[in-house]
């Protein structure tokens, strides 16, 4: 039987009106991924959770997950990266 996956969300409202969301992803009662997501628009909580689940699963299943801002130093990035993921193990 698989242990449940838990996603803990810790929102913080910024002076700009945007919301910085610090989150923790637990599998089998152990923290495996944590990160930050910048909520800019009027996204619902369900939309945010589904987006985070999709991105975290992609992050955990791929060895070459890369943050765009690390590899676009000489280009103008048209899409601002609003998600940072970190692996704990």
Residue 79 pLDDT > 50: no
Q: Look at residue 80 in the predicted model and tell me its pLDDT.
A: 46
55 pLDDT band, cuts 50/70/90, is confident
Query: pTM of this prediction?
Result: 0.75
β-strand partners of 25: 7, 33
Residue 9 pLDDT > 80: yes
Residue 62 pLDDT > 70: yes
CA distances to 58, 66, 68, 71, 77 from 74, rounded to whole Å, are 26, 16, 12, 8, 9
Mean per-residue pLDDT of the chain:
79
Give the C-alpha separation, 41 to 44, whole Å.
9
Segments making up each domain of the chain, as ranges: 5-87
Q: Poorest-confidence range of 10-14, 79-83, 85-89?
A: 79-83
């Amino acid at each position: 039987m698989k242990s449940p996956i838990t996603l803990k969300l810790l929102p913080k409202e910024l002076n700009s009106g945007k919301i910085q969301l610090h989150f923790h992803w637990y599998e089998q009662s152990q923290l495996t991924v944590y990160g930050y997501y910048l909520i800019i628009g009027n996204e619902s909580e369900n939309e945010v959770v589904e987006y985070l689940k999709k991105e975290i699963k992609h992050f955990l299943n791929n060895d070459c997950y890369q943050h765009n801002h690390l590899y676009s130093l000489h280009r103008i990035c048209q899409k601002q990266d609003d998600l940072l993921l970190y692996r704990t193990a």
